[in-house]
Amino acid sequence: MRRLLCVITVCIMILSFCAGCLDNDRFGLGDNEEASVASSIVLSEADARQIADKSPIRLYFANEDNSKLKLEIRYIPVSETTKSVNHLAEIIVNELIKGPKVAGLKPTIPEGTKLRSAIKIEGDVAIVDFTKEFRDNHPGGKAEERMTIYSVVNSLTELKEINKVKFLIEGKSSPDFKGNFRFNTEFPRSTQLISNKAEPVGTVNSKDAADKKDDSASGDKDTADVSNETENESVETGAQTSDDEEVFVDDSLDGEAQETYQETNDDEKWQETYDEASDEEARQTFSDEFEETYIEYLE
């Protein structure tokens, strides 16, 4: 009986060895070939530990000359992403407040700024309430203000639930930020401000594998990124004549004149007329006519 069991065992071992050889031939492995990993991305042990059980978040900071926003990717525990979108939005804003960790990027949130209250989500709009330092400690300047506003907007709109951002300071809505941008409005995403150069990827040397938003949401945001600034930057063309929500400020006009100016340049009518222009040349002509009308009004 024992001899029979030994014979059966030996036969099974021989059959297993033969089956293994057939598998090697099936998958294209010869006698001197070895199986290799399919991925070409190699992470160090330290990097692997860093991103284990973590999820990426996408943050936007200013480049060195405040002309573009550049992406920095950071990683947070996966457990944080399973909580509410409000909670995740607060994590993103607090990471922006900490400033960039990648060389060549500049902070966009003024020093001392904090979230005054929890971020609220109403529909697809995130309402962010900052402390007074957000404005008081800001250096001002058109480019700097733009980077500050849209670093928050573009970072938060990476979340699929958020398409626009509204700002409050000390719980109140303000008509303007530092004199260059209307502030009591909802800001849509601006893809034109995002640098198309190679993206920094934070503290690990791997590409971002985070899920992107669906195409329809991206399309809605891209349509909000049409820039209508005139070649002569010294002449402001009024509030909301571009996706930057620029503020028209002219101290030479009294309250009544300012109100009349705003009524004669209704934002929605202007935008509708602008959108009807089918090509770039027609749009440029329309922009030039608008600027000439505006200058004549001031004279």
- pLDDT over 90 at 187, yes or no: yes
pLDDT digits (tens, 9 = 90+) for 20-40: 554 444 434 444 444 333 334
What residues have CB less than 8 Å from 151, skipping those under 6 apart?
Answer: 59, 60, 61, 62, 69, 96, 108, 109
Among 125, 124, 97, smallest CA distance to 113 is for 97
Which contacts (CB < 8 Å, 24+ apart) does range 81-89 have? 81/55, 85/121, 85/159, 85/161, 85/162, 86/118, 86/119, 86/120, 86/121, 88/57, 88/159, 89/119, 89/121, 89/126, 89/128, 89/156, 89/159, 89/162
* Predicted pLDDT at 4: 65
Q: Which of 23-32, 50-59, 217-226 has the highest mean pLDDT?
A: 50-59
Q: How confident is the model at residue 197 (pLDDT cuts 50, 70, 90)?
A: confident
pLDDT digits (tens, 9 = 90+) for 147-169: 999 999 999 999 999 999 999 99
- pLDDT over 60 at 271, yes or no: no
Q: Which residues of 56-68 are buried (b: 16+ CB within 10 A; e: fewer)?
A: bbbbbbbeeebeb
CA–CA distance, 10 with 12 (Å, rounded to integer): 5
CA–CA distance, 181 with 175 (Å, rounded to integer): 9
H/E run at residue 42:
none
117 in helix, strand or coil? coil
Among 126, 88, 130, smallest CA distance to 108 is for 130
CA–CA distance, 129 with 121 (Å, rounded to integer): 12
pTM of the predicted protein model: 0.56
Q: Strands 164-169 and 186-188: what pairing?
A: antiparallel
Q: How confident is the model at residue 8 (pLDDT cuts 50, 70, 90)?
A: confident
Place of tokens 């059980």: 53
Phi/psi of residue 220, nearest 5 degrees: -65, -35
DSSP 225: G
